[in-house]
Structure 1
Amino acid sequence: MSGDWLHVRRGDAPLVVSIPHAGTEIPPDLEARLASPWLARKDADWWLEQLYDFAGDLGATVVRTAVSRTVIDVNRDPSGASLYPGQATTGLCPTETFDGEPLYRPGQEPDAAAIAARRTQFFDPYHEALRGELDRLRAVHGQVVLYDAHSIRSRAPRLFDGELPQFNIGTNGGAACAPALTAAVEAACDATGLPRVTDGRFKGGWITRRYGRPEQGVHAVQMELACRGYIDEPPALTPENWPTPYHPPRAAFLRSALAEVLKACVAFASPPSRA
């Protein structure tokens, strides 16, 4: 596993793009304890670094981890509290896939000491970087938008019914950002004619809920994309067909829409003279 797992690309616009789930790296000693390396990577937010590779051109700061969410999920409450009580979800150090498949061989699940070590090694540095960039940009601009970027399969029956809308905006029920930002992001999505929902099944993970403090000048919004917008989705996933390759022609329309979303975020947080 590479030692260069935390990637921070600094920009000057009042926008931080967080990509917490696109990583696939797993330490060799941990991978040996897993039921299947493929299962351990199955639920990654595939190819988001390519999908959003234009963000730096808009002046955004991008923070992402190359570490798989199976190692530790930097978008979960470190206390272990569920983000969605009563609904199926995964934890800080997941032990099963979105479909309920065991990630570890019997008896090899992480204990409290292993979880604490992973938190120190990976979780804490990610959040130190995120907080540092938010503070840096807020000091310059007065306010900043944190855009937490995600994607997921269009259908995951254990997590939600039916087919997920293309755009799933999460604002923690309006608590994580100003209504004007929500409206601007919604408008950019609605202009595509593709289905969109706000605070539906995905209301924002721990990153959105932890950092979204509009009264303090930090406005957080999560975007959960149905990945059909940029890759093919087989009806049944197997090690032979998943993940499918990044599909630039299919992604082009979605990238154009996401560029408008990020521009709206920058305009919201910019002084009128620079909006």
Structure 2
Amino acid sequence: MTEEDDPMFFEVIAPEQQTLPLVFNSPHSGRVYPDRFLQSVRLNAQEIRRSEDLFVDELFSAAPAFGAPLQRAFFPRAFLDVNREPYELDPRMFNGPLPAHINFTSIRVAGGLGTIPKIVAENMEIYDSPVDVEEGMARIEKIYRPYHQSLKRLMHETRRRFGHAVLIDCHSMPDGVGAGAARRKPDFIIGDRYGTSASGALAFAAISILEGMGFSTAYNKPYAGGFITEHYGRPANGCHALQIEVSRRLYADEENLSKKPEFIGLKQALTLFIAELADSLDDIMEATALAAE
């Protein structure tokens, strides 16, 4: 992406007609790196991509064919992370004073993973020099806010049309539990912020479908969901949000950042997952409504 480009930062792939109260979101699979950004970082073209949720937008690309919109980012997570509060920022990263309302005390900022990240995976620092304050604020105003305005509109319209809305926030995860750790993560992790962002019936239905297909799963550990799951999941108001983490070992070579041959089979499996979730959604929502009475 060059300075002369008029970039499209994200898109909504809408079905011809929305027939399901589902909204899919892929906020971290963007892989369009602005030239100016690349010139300001200390990492090479391979290293800067370590934070991508590799090809997750493609894994879930069948959603519109079933009648559910899919919103996906084109900008990379290393450039801007929309799965954070709008102003989770580290003042030490910038060359001037930030607005007074920033959140610089969050655990994510402390870990270098704020709205404008300091590091990519494996604690690799992104920048050689401080980020210009105006540049940082422009990313938030021009990309972060429109992204969330769009997602909010999708959820609002879905709930208005169907009486409830279910957000599936799609991510991927590295294989190991931690750097150098030998213990392997499960194939999928379903997160609902420990039961606060979605009905239990919805979370357990997703787990049941995946396990019925032969995958190993975990619930909320080690990933319970980020800002998007927490912010959009309001079960009492008819809005539910689940985070789904897919292990990259199932479909990607993390060394050269490419698809494995198994990618096709996993995409087919996730297409079946979408179909089965869609088929069972009325029963799930009915069980949810009865539990709330």
Partner of 2:221: 200
Matches within 5 A, 1:11-30: 11=15, 12=18, 13-30=20-37
Shift of 1:245: 5.1
Paired residues for 1:59-74 under 5 Å? 59-74=67-82
The 1:85–1:120 alpha-carbon spacing in structure 2 relative to 1, beyond 3 Å, is closer
Q: Is the 8 A contact 2:112 2:118 kept in 1?
A: no
Counterpart in the other structure of 2:273: 258
Query: In the TM superposition, what is the alpha-carbon distance from 1:243 to its structure 2 partner?
Result: 3.3
8 A Cα contact 2:251 2:259, kept in partner = no
Which AA in structure 1 matches 2:266? Answer: A
- Contact persistence 1:17–1:62 (CA under 8 A): yes
Superposition map of 1:73-84 within 5 A: 73-80=81-88, 81=103
Which of 93, 118, 123 is the aligned partner of 2:139?
118
Alpha-carbon separation, structure 2, partners of 1:42 and 1:85: 17
* Equivalent residue for 2:8, pick from 4, 9, 25: 4
TM-score norm. by structure 1 comes to 0.86
CA distance in structure 1 between the aligned counterparts of 2:8 and 2:108, rounded to whole angstroms: 35
- SS for the counterpart of 1:21 is coil
Contact 1:212 1:220 in 2 (8 A): yes
Letter of the 1:49 partner, please give it. Answer: D
Deviation larger for 67-76 or 183-192? 183-192
C-alpha distance in 1 between matches for 2:143 and 2:180 = 26
Structure showing greater radius of gyration is 2
Higher mean displacement: 249-258 or 124-133: 249-258
Stretch moving more, 183-192 or 2-11: 2-11
Aligned AA (1:52): F
Aligned-partner Cα distance in 2 for 1:9–1:159: 38
Q: 1: distance between equivalents of 2:179 and 2:46? A: 19
CA RMSD, Structure 1 to Structure 2 (Å)? 2.6
Distance in 2 between the 1:160 and 1:217 partners? 40
In the alignment, is the contact (CA less than 8 A) between 1:83 and 1:205 conserved in 2? no
Identical aligned pairs, as a percentage?
25
Aligned equivalent of 1:94:
117
Partner of 2:282: 267
Range 214-223 or range 111-120, more displaced: 111-120
> What is the match of residue 179 of structure 1?
200
* 130-139 or 149-158, larger mean C-alpha shift: 149-158
Distance 1:159 1:177 in 2: 33
Q: Any idea what the Cα deviations from partners look like across 1:62-86, whole Å, max 9, x if unmatched?
A: 1111000111001112231577569
**1:144 touches 1:269 (CA, 8 Å); kept in 2?**
no
2:271 and 2:33 mapped to 1: Cα distance?
32
Aligned: 1:167 with 2:188 = yes
Aligned residues: 264
Letter in 2 for 1:267: D
**2:278 aligned partner, one-letter code:** K
For normalisation by structure 2, the TM-score amounts to 0.81
Structure 1 unpaired stretches of 5+: none
**Alignment equivalent of 1:150, drawn from 149, 171, 178:** 171
Superposed CA offset, 1:233-275 (max 9, x none): 5xxx3xxx23345644442563255325642674357679xxx
Task: Report the Cα distance in structure 2 between the residues aligned to 1:56 and 1:71, rounded to whole angstroms.
Answer: 27
- For structure 2, the residue ranges without an aligned partner over 5 or more in a row are 89-102, 288-293
Q: Compared with structure 1, are the counterparts of its residues 133 and 249 closer, same or farther at alpha carbon in structure 2 (3 Å cutoff)? A: closer
> How far apart, in 1, do the equivalents of 2:152 and 2:107 lie?
24
Give the C-alpha shift of residue 149 in structure 1.
0.4
Number of the residue aligned with 2:65 = 57
Where 1:113 maps in the other structure, the secondary structure is: helix
CA contact (8 A) 1:151 1:224 kept: yes
Q: What amino acid sits opposite 2:141 in the alignment?
A: T
> What is the SS of the residue equivalent to 2:61?
coil
